[in-house]
Amino acid sequence: MDIANLKRKVTHNQKIKTFVHWCLMSRLRCAPRLWVKIFVNPFFLKRGRGSLVKWSAILNVSPINKFTLGSNSVIENFSLIDNAVGDVTIGANSRVGLRNTVIGPVKIGNNVIIAQNVVISGLNHNYQDPNIPIHKQGVNKKPIVINDDVWVGANSTITSGVVIGHHCVIAGGSVVVCNIPPYSVCAGVPARIIKAYDFERKEWSAPIKK
């Protein structure tokens, strides 16, 4: 039986899934157990040639979901990467800046610059039932996709389900709650498009108000 079939069987059996998750992850610490980090992760997690994870970065990653770091990409000091509820994939020549938080499911493309103190989370906590503590209501998740050649400014937040197009700029301090089309600059809370590239005029200009 190959790994994909085994994972599929585990996923579809709630009792086995719960047991395997307990074996791999510490519920109290919300992190992989030490034996997973030492004996499992080096064989299952993919890192490209020349990639670098700085010494104080926290990799809360395990084989439960995918984690890949492309060639020549860097995860800076004090950043957190967490794939407990969804895949985290980072392309080549990309940089996850100081003190970033990346919680899957998240896909980051090639040549992406993520500045400092950025939060990118494909996870939300359920809260709808006022009679149950929020931490007991579970979570929902929607993948975030950051396409190639994007620059995310410092102190920004990218919320679940958002897709950021090719060659976009997210201004510092922005909260992105909806999709951003390619070749756009957005800013604000919530973020809105303030510039877009006009290929006919070959310049960046403010969108035409209708």
Residues marked active site are found at 125
Query: In sequence order, what are the residues at sequence separation of 6 or more whose Cβ sits closer than 8 angstroms to the Cβ of residue 193?
Result: 180, 181, 184, 185, 186, 207
Q: What is the DSSP letter of 134?
A: G
- The β-bridge partners of 187 are 192
- What does the alpha-carbon distance between residue 100 and residue 65 come to, in Å, rounded to a whole number? 20
Residue 130 contacts residue 112 (beta carbons within 8 Å): no
Tokens found for residue 71: 């060639």
Q: What is the DSSP letter of 136?
A: G
In 25-152, which residue ranges form alpha helices assigned H by DSSP? 34-35, 41-44
Q: What is the DSSP letter of 180?
A: B
Angle at 124 between CA 62 and CA 87, to 5 degrees: 30
Q: How many other CB atoms are found less than 10 A from the CB of residue 40?
A: 15
Burial class (CB within 10 angstroms; exposed 0-12, middle 13-18, buried 19+) of 29: exposed
